[in-house]
Structure 1
Amino acid sequence: MAALSILFFAFALLLHGASSLVPKTLIVNGKGGGHVAIGYHLAKELTSKGHDVTILQNDDVDSSKNPFSSYADLTTTKVLNKPFDDTFTYPFKELEFDFVFDNSSKDPSGPVESVLLKANPAKQRYTFIGSAGIYEKPSSLPHNSQLTEAMPVNSAKPAAQFEKALQESSIPHILFRCQYMYGPLCSKHYLDYFTHRIKSSLPVPVPSPGTQIVSLTDVRDVAKQLSKVCDALPPSGSIFNTGTFNDLKHTYIDVANMIGEGLNMKPDIRLYDPNSKTDFPFRASEFFVKSDKSVSELDFDGGIHELKKYIPEIVKSFEQRHPRVDTSKDEAAIKSVV
C-alpha cells in the first residue's frame, strides 16, 4: 500500500509539472476594425501550439458578425466579456499569463489601456499589435521604397503614444505594426472597391501611376507571425512589421487585374490625379512595409497564403454579402485623369 501511495504521489507531481509547462496566454481583442479577426486566428494558432488561451473583449461586441459569430469554433479557448469603459478593472491576477497579445489598445490614457499598463500582466512578453499607419515616410525616399521598423513615426497618433508608454514602462514588450489584411472572417473588405466596379462593368479609378505597391497579407499568416514571439522570445522592445514575405508585393493595377481574372472580366482601369478625393481603399501614394525582419529574428516562414489564390474567396464573399459600394466620387476622379 505504501508503495502504491508513493507511486500515486510521484504521478501527481509529474502531472502538476506537465501542467505548469503549459503556457497561459491572454488575447485582448478589439470589437471592430481591420485588426479584429487577428484575435480569432491567433487563438487558433496558439492553441495548436499547446497554449491555454483566454480572450478578453468588450462586452458590447456584435456576436452576429465576423469574427465573433465563429467563436464557437474556438472550443478550448475561454472568452471573457467585460465593459471596456471607465468601470473596467483588470480581471486577472498579476503575472497570471506568460504572454499577452494586445489587439485592442490605442490611446494609453484610455480606460482599458491605462489599466493594462499598470496591471503587470505578462511574465514573458506583452505584444502590442499596432499599426504601420504611424510611420512618417520621409519625402526623400524614392518611389516604392519599403518602410522599415527604423522609420520615424507620427508621435501624435494614439498607437504611437501607446508604443511610447510601453517603451517607458518596465513591461517586457514587443511591438508589431500591421498593414492591410484580408482573409477569413476579416471585417474590413478593402477589395470590394475593385470587385464591385469590375463586376458591374464600371470604370475602376486608380491613383496615378497605378504602380504603387501595397502590402496585403492574409490574416492567418499574421497570426502565425505573431505567435512566433512565444517561441523566439525576442529582446524586449523589439519592433516588427507584419506582412507576408514570400508572397510578391502587388501594385494597385496588379490587384485590379487579379480580381478581374477571378471574375473572368477585364477591368477598365482609369488612372486619376492622386490628389483627388475618392473612396479608394488604400493610400494614393505608395506605402508598404518591409517585413523580412521577422523571418530572420522570429524564424517566421514568411507566410504561405497568396492573394491570387484567395481571390475566388473574395469574389464569393462579395456575392454573398451584396455590399453597397459608393461610386459617387468616381466620375470626378476620372475627369482628373493625368
Structure 2
Amino acid sequence: MAQAALSGTFLGAAASLQGRTSRQSASRRLAVSVRADKALIVNTKGGGHAFLGLHLAKKLLSAGHSVTILNDGDKEKLSGKAPFSQYASLAGAEVVWGSPTDPATYPAGAFDVVYDNNGKNLESCQPLIDHFKGKVKHYVFVSSAGAYAANSVEPMHVEGDKRKASAGHVAVEGYLEEQQLPYTVFQPLYIYGPHTAKDCEQWFMERILRCGHFNLCSDRCITFDGIVKAIAAAASKEAKIVHYNPAEMGLGKGEGFPFRAVHFFASSDKAKRVLGWQPQHNFLKDVDQLVKDFQASGRLDKQPDFSVDDKILAAVGYKAEALV
C-alpha cells in the first residue's frame, strides 16, 4: 500500500503532515497560524520536493503575502527545467540563486517565516537554522514520511510513530527542537502534479501510453495496481500487470520499480484536527489531466530505454510484446 501526496499545491495536498510547535500547550497549538507578510522559501535543486516551493509560492502570493525564493543550485543549468522554468509566472516574487549552506548567498532583508524545502540532513540545514534563529516568527521544515520506520503490522503511519535513526531528516527535526525555535514539520509522501521534477505517475504513463507491458509490486490507498488501471482508463488503453519480487532480480541502483516495495501510507487526521486542513486533490479525479499533460509534454516523441523491463519480464517467465 502507498499514498499519493500532493497534487497542485503544497497547502492543499493529500499528504501526511506532522505539525510540531515547541514548548507550547495543546490549546496554544490550536491557535498557531503559519502565515506571514514576508516569507522566504528555500527550495531544493532537484528531487521530488522541488516543485513544492513553486506551488507554495503561488499559494502565498495569491493570499497577498510577500515571497522570496532562495533556490539551491546553478541558475543556468536549472532554469530551463521544470519546475524552475515556471518561476517567471510568479508575479511579484523575488528569486535568488545561491546555497542554503552559505549565509553569504542569503537574500537580504527580514522575514517572518522560513520554509525550508531543501534540506535532507543536518549538514545542509544547520546554517539556515542558525542564521534565522531568533529572527523569524516561525520555521517550517519539509521532512519526509519516508523517515518513518516500516511497520508491517500497523502500516498506517501517524504522528509520533517510530522514526528511522538513520534518516537525515530526523536529525534536523531534533536540532530544531533543541534550538527551541517555533517550528512545524511537514511530511509529504509520494508527490504528483504539474511541473514535477521527478517521475511518479509518468513512470506508468511512459509504459501504458505505448501499449507496453510492465511489472508492479504492492500498493497504496489507491493501490499501485489501481494507479495502473486508472491511468489506462484515462488513456483508453489496456494495461497488463506483472508482479515480481525485486529482491530476486539482481537489479542495480535505480533500476526497476521506482517506488518502495513496502506499505507506505499515512493518516492526515492530525492536520485536519489541529490545522483545520482538508485535502483538495484525489488521484482518480486528477488522472485525466495528468495524462493530457504527459501527452502534451513531448515525451512520447522520444524513445525510452525499456531494457530493464525486458530483463525483469524474462526473469519471471513472461513473454512481453515489443514496447514501441
Q: What is the TM-score normalised by the length of structure 1?
A: 0.73
> Structure 2 regions of 5+ residues with no counterpart?
1-34, 319-324
Residues 1:162 and 1:22: Cα distance change in structure 2 (over 3 Å) = closer
Instruction: Tell me the distance in 2 between the aligned counterparts of 1:90 and 1:79.
Output: 11
What's 1:14 paired with? none
What's 1:295 paired with? 272
> Structure 1 regions of 5+ residues with no counterpart?
1-20, 214-248
Residues 1:171 and 1:274: Cα distance change in structure 2 (over 3 Å) = same
User: Residue 201 of structure 1 aligns to a residue in which SS?
Assistant: coil
Distance apart, 1:49 and its partner CA: 1.9
Instruction: Tell me the distance in 1 between the aligned counterparts of 2:145 and 2:36.
Output: 32
Instruction: Tell me the distance in 1 between the aligned counterparts of 2:183 and 2:146.
Output: 20
Distance apart, 1:193 and its partner CA: 2.3
Using the aligned pairs only, state the percent identity.
Answer: 33
Q: Does the CA-based 8 Å contact 2:216-2:242 persist in structure 1? A: yes
What's 2:82 paired with? 66
User: Residue 57 of structure 1 aligns to a residue in which SS?
Assistant: strand
Q: Which structure is larger by alpha-carbon Rg, 1 or 2? A: 1
Instruction: Tell me the distance in 2 between the aligned counterparts of 1:36 and 1:74.
Output: 15
Instruction: Tell me the distance in 2 between the aligned counterparts of 1:155 and 1:51.
Output: 37
User: Residue 312 of structure 2 aligns to a residue in which SS?
Assistant: helix
The residue type equivalent to 2:44 in the other structure is G
Residues 1:28 and 1:313: Cα distance change in structure 2 (over 3 Å) = same
User: Residue 307 of structure 2 aligns to a residue in which SS?
Assistant: coil
Per mean C-alpha deviation after superposition, the further-off stretch among 164-173 and 254-263 is 164-173
Where relative contact order (Cα < 8 A, 6+ residues apart) is larger, the structure is: 2
Per mean C-alpha deviation after superposition, the further-off stretch among 54-63 and 31-40 is 54-63
* C-alpha RMSD over aligned residues: 2.4
Distance apart, 1:318 and its partner CA: 2.8
Q: Deviations over 1:120-167 (max 9, x none)?
A: 35532101011111111234x15xx31112111112222221111112
What's 1:261 paired with? 233
Instruction: Tell me the distance in 1 between the aligned counterparts of 2:62 and 2:222.
Output: 31
Distance apart, 1:59 and its partner CA: 5.1
- Choose which of 261, 266, 288 in structure 2 pairs with 1:312: 288
What's 1:244 paired with? none
The reply to whether residue 180 of structure 1 matches residue 190 of structure 2 is yes
Q: Does the CA-based 8 Å contact 2:70-2:107 persist in structure 1? A: no
Q: Does the CA-based 8 Å contact 1:22-1:50 persist in structure 2? A: no
Residues 1:196 and 1:88: Cα distance change in structure 2 (over 3 Å) = same
The residue type equivalent to 2:161 in the other structure is M
Instruction: Tell me the distance in 2 between the aligned counterparts of 1:161 and 1:176.
Output: 15
What's 1:27 paired with? 41
Instruction: Tell me the distance in 1 between the aligned counterparts of 2:36 and 2:262.
Output: 46
Q: Does the CA-based 8 Å contact 1:28-1:57 persist in structure 2? A: yes
Instruction: Tell me the distance in 1 between the aligned counterparts of 2:118 and 2:137.
Output: 19
Residues 1:300 and 1:116: Cα distance change in structure 2 (over 3 Å) = same
Number of aligned residue pairs: give it: 272
Residues 1:92 and 1:155: Cα distance change in structure 2 (over 3 Å) = farther
Q: Deviations over 1:169-228 (max 9, x none)?
A: 121111111111111111112122221222222222011xx4x21xxxxxxxxxxxxxxx
Q: Does the CA-based 8 Å contact 1:59-1:84 persist in structure 2? A: no
Q: Does the CA-based 8 Å contact 2:111-2:136 persist in structure 1? A: yes
Instruction: Tell me the distance in 2 between the aligned counterparts of 1:146 and 1:56.
Output: 34
